[in-house]
Amino acid sequence: MSDWLNNPNRSLTQVFRTSKDEEPNKYNDEYQALTDAHHEWLAARSYFEQVTEPDLVDFAILSLQAAEKRYEYLWKKMKDKDS
């Protein structure tokens, strides 16, 4: 799973997007939450890499950790539901 997390070029939107012809399924909202969490995680990582002010470094670290934990939680929740 960590290899997948470290690949910023992967688009969850493309993986979970339904076509206009498909009926929405019960997982669409969960996939959207997972996609949003992935974008949040990438944004937090980008912010962490760019921050230079010492006072903001702690905030960047905590934001990155929180975003990563949220993403991992949603990923595990989806994986457990599919099993």
Interacting residues of 75 by C-beta distance below 8 A, sequence separation 6+: 1, 34
- Structure confidence at residue 59 (pLDDT): 94
Which residue's structure tokens are 């599919």? 82
Q: Reduced to 3 DSSP states, what percent helix, strand and coil does the chain have, rounded to the nearest 5? A: 75, 0, 25
Distance, CA of 11 to CA of 9 (rounded, Å): 6
pLDDT tens for the chain, residues 1 to 83: 445 455 555 555 555 555 555 555 656 788 889 999 999 999 999 999 999 998 899 999 999 999 999 999 999 988 887 77
Cα–Cα dist 46/2, whole Å: 17
pLDDT of residue 31: 86
Task: Return the pLDDT at 38.
Answer: 95
